[in-house]
Amino acid sequence: MANERLRALEEVEKEIATVLQCAGNIVLELSKDKHNASHLDRQLVQFQSSINRVESELSGQIRYLTQVATGQPHEGSTYSARKDCQMALNRAEYAKVKLGELGRTCEVMLEQQQQTAATTAAAAAAAAAAATAAAAATTTTTAATAAAAADMRAESKSVTSLKIFSYIFCIVITFFSLSSVHFWVYIFFNLVVIFLFMCIAGPM
């Protein structure tokens, strides 16, 4: 439809050129001393017919433009559809921009959540490691304490055994000393018993 309107306007332009040519021929013929009446009549008829066609076509174009300029749909017009399409494109572009902003906001929030989760996980891992280390230290301390207690018990048993052995040895030496005839031998054996008792058995 638009191409037909353009072709009609091109035809109107040609008719206007014909009108101007006819008017020029008529003026040229009238400027002569002896003009040709039949030639003038033919130019006049062509001039009038061209003028009528130009007037009719321009009137139709004006009516068409009047209908199109209202913005209301009519037969052969695509103005309203184009306007609606352009408005739809504008709304789609606006929605695209808003969706892009929403997407960027969601990405920022997701990054913040990931950072928070990573920080929480790191803190939990550190706490677990600290708890494990504390448990290991407690276990080690407990084991060391138990080992020390076992050593002390073993040492206590050994000392007790040595003391018992010293007492028995002292009794035996004393018995042999008492049965001895010499006094100095008795004194010597007593000193030996005291020395052995102090060195081997230790204090009670």
Q: What CATH number does residue 44 fall under?
A: 1.20.58.1710
pLDDT tens for residues 44-89? 898 889 899 899 988 888 887 777 766 665 556 666 677 888 899 9
**6: in domain:** yes
| Percent share of the chain, pLDDT over 70 | 67
Q: Give the pLDDT band (50/70/90) at residue 171.
A: low
Residue finishing a domain among 35, 52, 69: 69
Q: Which of 69, 96, 127 is the last residue of a domain?
A: 69
In a domain, 188, yes or no: yes
Question: What pLDDT is stored for residue 101 in this prediction?
Answer: 92
H or E element that contains 33: none
0.75 exceeded by pTM: no
Query: Does the pLDDT value for residue 155 go beyond 80?
Result: no
Is residue 199's pLDDT more than 70?
no
Classify residue 107: in a domain, yes or no. Answer: no
Can you give the residue range of the structural domain that contains 164?
156-201
Is 119 inside any structural domain? no
- Measured between alpha carbons, how far is 177 from 184 in angstroms, rounded to an integer? 10
The pLDDT assigned to 97 comes to: 93
What is the domain count for the chain? Answer: 2
Count Cα atoms within 13 angstroms, Cβ side, for 138.
Answer: 6
